[in-house]
Amino acid sequence: MMGILVLRCSLIGAVLTAVAATSGALEAASLGGRAEAVRDVDAYRPSLVTRAMWQAKPPLPGMTAQVPASIVLHHSGVRSNSGIGLEQKMRGLQSFSQRPVHRARGRTDVSWPDVPYHFYLDSSGRIAEGRDVGFAGDTNTGYDTNGHIQVALEGDFDTETPKPEQMEALRDLLVWLTLSWNLDVSRISTHKDHAATVCPGRNFMTLVPDLLARVSEHRAAAVADLCRKAPNDAASRRVCGLK
């Protein structure tokens, strides 16, 4: 089921060229921009099922470092399944992503170094931490994933509708991410904006305008709150536009 999920969701795709990366290099890229970016807006972080909580394996070599500049929304492409816990789903997704794939001339590669998404929301609205946002995701469609934070909602939204708790959790996640990386709400898009795909499904697309309006409203309230509280200089320059 997880294999179908990944293949049906259009984010997963062509394997990135394997590039040797030491654990030190991974750590440096991970901690570079992200830790600084989120430091002053962490009060707006929604509850996350962290990689440690779902017992993620270490990523494999071959990921491409990125600086997030936008957010792309996806659906999983298969109907939601509340009978399997989010932690188990994430472990299955990672195992599928890192499985050996036999290539030409007997060479064996892995599919992808890690889960392709940076965040995954299940049907109850729980949010799992996927790939570190300091590294580009993977896709099987023809667009460059570099610079995008990839967010996936569980469900086939051509045949079912996102649940209210999913949309509420997504709103909170998007507010936190846009604050963390100083992104305007206009930098939130869907997969079909970038590639020839139906992802994230027509029933999700009908909810996007209201979602973005609510993200914008909650983000503006958060910014006003941050600026009233006189954040430190870095946060002031980033969020409040102060010199």
Which CATH number is 52's domain given? 3.40.80.10
Q: Check if the beta carbon of residue 12 is closer than 8 Å to that of residue 76.
A: no
Task: Please give the average per-residue pLDDT across 98-106, as a whole number.
Answer: 69
pLDDT band (50, 70, 90) for residue 109: low
For residue 72, the cross-strand partners are 150, 189
**What are the Cα distances from residue 48, in Å, to 34, 120, 129, 170, 173?**
16, 10, 6, 12, 9
Domains: count for the chain: 1
How far is C-alpha 156 from the geometric centre of its chain's CA atoms? 17
Q: Which of 212, 174, 188, 231 is nearest to 240 (CA)?
A: 231
pLDDT of residue 43: 87
Backbone angles phi, psi at 128, to 5 degrees: -105, 140
- pLDDT of 172 above 90: yes
Distance (Å, whole) CA 1 – CA 57: 20
Task: Please give the average per-residue pLDDT across 148-176, as a whole number.
Answer: 97
Model pTM? 0.81
Residue 33: CB atoms within 10 A of its CB come to 17
- pLDDT of 77 above 50: yes
pLDDT digits over 116-135, tens only? 999 999 999 999 999 999 99
Which structural domain, as residue segments, surrounds residue 235? Answer: 2-240
